[in-house]
Amino acid sequence: MANLDNPTKPVHILFVGAGAVGCFYASRLHHPSHNIYTSLTARSNYSAIAANGVILETHSFGNYTFSPYAVFPSIAHAVPTPSATTNPAPTRQTPRDGWDYIIVTTKALPDRTDDAAAVAPLVSAKTCIVLIQNGVGVEEPYRKRFPQNPIVSAVTVISAEQIRNGVVRQNRWTRISLGPYGSGLGIPPDPNDELSDVVKQGHERMDQLARWWIRYGGIRDVETHTELELQTIRWHKLCINAAFNPTAVLSGGRGNADQLTDPELREHIQGVMNEIWNAAPKVLGKPFPDNLAKPEKIISSTERNAGARPSMLLDWEAGRPMELEVILGNPIRIARRAGVDMPKLQTLYALLRSMQKVREDQKAQGKL
Ligand SMILES: NC(=O)c1ccc[n+]([C@@H]2O[C@H](COP(=O)([O-])OP(=O)(O)OC[C@H]3O[C@@H](n4cnc5c(N)ncnc54)[C@H](OP(=O)(O)O)[C@@H]3O)[C@@H](O)[C@H]2O)c1
């Protein structure tokens, strides 16, 4: 593909997962006048989006309708036409020479689905894979399956929700931090190592994507980083997600600010944050930089954000699987590999995993 802000050949971008995050960032990346065409793979909301596009109610850009270049009812339907054997209904909208970017915005549930395997028929030699998902270790299955493809890892700070099928509300924030992904630890690449080239390509593709989102999509806080910086941001975000999200479920449904009004829960939250704050530098080989908020600061800004209820709690209440592996299981396992135990995270993980299993067993036995 052309390495230009205004590509001379059409660039085809496919979002897999047309939920809150996917629809919002896709809608800021569809610019046919600049030769950039963005499509969606939907699922339960396919009919609504195919009929009306995505209706966005946004704090940052007002209300608008996003009509993607194409919307597909499943991943199989988005397989490029030459692979028609695996696409049940190839259309002229699947790019003949493959997808330039596959942007994965599903919930990260590696204990339920192998999304890297699911997207494999969409990936060709020219495809850059972008993962906009919470947690750590989300990239590993993609790197294993696609050793030669550039991967961009992304962390977003946004508050968005799909309020009904095909209608997405962005409540606040737009920030997205991007970084290329090689091995995950950001070790400066050995020029003889084949990963070094793939990380370089990841850098280029990330820069291009960032420019399109900023210049054409109007998102001001798109940040580009090195691999190590981005992994540091992922671990830093765990201070919020691994502390408040599990506690919201285990405390009986209390929102983040509400948890902090209870002295025992407050001490527990502080303890979880401190555990991550102390473990991450040992995993990453570098302390958190000064510009990232320390636990005390995260706590004081959370106190001002009354009413916020974390996604893990919403998922639990709706009977959906929770992102336990990427927010708790992976950090524990990755830290263990670096010789660090995280007993507080391990306790949260063990309890929530068990709660989820008991509920699913009861459902399977028809008791719920
Ligand atoms: N929402 C936020 O404010 C926010 C903020 C920061 C980070 N995040 C993170 O961003 C990621 C995405 O979150 P989200 O809130 O956008 O989740 P979401 O609204 O639940 O969207 C996920 C979408 O992926 C779809 N999907 C899952 N598997 C699919 C498949 N195989 N094929 C096609 N579609 C598939 C789901 O379809 P179905 O409806 O059919 O299941 C759903 O529409 C998560 O890791 C989350 O933690 C979210």
Cβ of 105 closer than 6 Å to ligand 1, yes or no, is yes
For ligand 1, whether the C-beta of 280 sits within 6 Å is no
Judge if the beta carbon of residue 110 lies within 6 A of ligand 1: no
Instruction: Print the SS3 string covering the chain.
Output: CCCCCCCCCCEEEEEECCCHHHHHHHHCCCEHHHCEEEEEECCCCHHHHHHHCEEEEECCCEEEEECCCCEECCCHHHCCHHHCCCCCCCCCCCCCCCCCEEEECCCCCCCCCCHHHHHHHHCCCCCEEEEECCCCCCCHHHHHHCCCCCEEEEEEEEEEEEEECCEEEEEEEEEEEEEECCCCCCCCCCCCCHHHHHHHHHHHHHHHHHHHHHHHCCCCCEEECCHHHHHHHHHHHHHHHHHHHHHHHHCCCCCHHHHCCCHHHHHHHHHHHHHHHHHHHHHHCCCCCCCCCCHHHHHHHHHCCCCCCCHHHHHHHCCCCCCHHHHHHHHHHHHHHCCCCCHHHHHHHHHHHHHHHHHHHHHHCCCC
- Arithmetic mean of pLDDT, 271-277: 98
pLDDT digits (tens, 9 = 90+) for 94-145: 898 899 999 999 999 999 999 999 999 999 999 999 999 999 999 999 999 9
| Mean pLDDT score, 68-90 | 79
CA–centroid distance, 262 to ligand 1, in Å, is 31
Q: Please, are residues 164 and 138 in contact by the beta-carbon 8 Å criterion? A: no
Q: Is 311 in the pocket of ligand 1 (CB under 6 A)?
A: yes
Q: How far is the CA of 209 from the centre of ligand 1 (A)?
A: 20
16, 21, 164: residue to mutate for ligand 1 pocket, most atoms within 8 A of CB: 21
* Dist CA 281 CA 274 (whole Å): 12
User: What local confidence, expressed as pLDDT, does residue 86 receive?
Assistant: 61
CA–CA separation, 2 and 47 (whole Å): 34
CA of 163 to the centre of ligand 1 (A): 13
pLDDT score for 346: 98
Class for the domain spanning 11-225:
alpha beta
Residues forming a β-bridge with 62:
58
Instruction: Classify residue 291 by burial, with Cβ atoms within 10 Å: 0-12, 13-18, 19+.
Output: exposed
Ordered by start, the domain boundaries in the chain are 11-225, 230-364
Please give the distance of CA 286 from its chain centroid, rounded to a whole number: 24
pLDDT of residue 7: 86
Write down the pLDDT at residue 298: 97
The pLDDT of residue 69: 96
Per the model's pLDDT, the better-predicted residue between 6 and 287 turns out to be 287
**pLDDT tens, position by position, 136-188:** 999 999 999 999 999 999 999 999 999 999 999 999 999 999 999 998 776 66
Better-predicted residue by pLDDT, 185 or 325 = 325
What tens digit of pLDDT does each residue of 222-237 get? 999 999 999 999 999 9
> Residue 125: how many CB atoms within 10 A of its CB?
8
Q: Residue 118's pLDDT is what?
A: 98
The pLDDT, as a whole number, for residue 238 is 98
Instruction: Return the structure tokens found at 357.
Output: 């299993």
The CA 117 to ligand 1 mean position distance, Å, reads 17
Nearest atom within ligand 1 for CA of residue 241: 47
Confidence of residue 1 (pLDDT cuts 50, 70, 90): very low
State yes or no: pLDDT of 344 exceeds 90: yes
Strand partners of residue 16:
41, 104
Residue 191 has pLDDT above 90, yes or no: no
The percent of residues above 70 in pLDDT, for the chain, comes to: 93
| Closest C-alpha residue for ligand 1 atom 1 | 160
Best residue among 16, 25, 103, 106 to mutate for probing ligand 1's pocket (most ligand atoms within 8 Å of CB) is 106
Closest Cα to atom 11 of ligand 1: 133
> pLDDT per residue over 39-58, tens digit each?
999 999 999 999 999 999 99
5 pLDDT band, cuts 50/70/90, is: confident
Q: What is the mean pLDDT of the chain?
A: 94
For residue 92, pLDDT over 70 is answered with: no
Residue 2 has pLDDT above 50, yes or no: no
Gap between the Cα atoms of 112 and 109, Å rounded? 5
Task: For ligand 1, say whether the CB of 155 is within 6 Å of any of its atoms.
Answer: no
CA of 132 to the centre of ligand 1 (A): 10
Mutate to test the pocket of ligand 1, among 311, 316, 317, 326 (most ligand atoms within 8 A of CB): 311
May I ask the CATH class of domain 230-364? mainly alpha
Is the pLDDT at 83 greater than 90? The verdict is no
> Is 11-225's fold the same as 230-364's?
no
- pLDDT tens digits, one per residue of 230-273: 999 999 999 999 999 999 999 999 999 999 999 999 999 999 99
Alpha-carbon gap, residue 75 to 141, rounded angstroms: 18
Does residue 196 surpass a pLDDT of 90? no
C-beta of 245 in contact with ligand 1 (< 6 A): no
The CA 16 to ligand 1 mean position distance, Å, reads 9
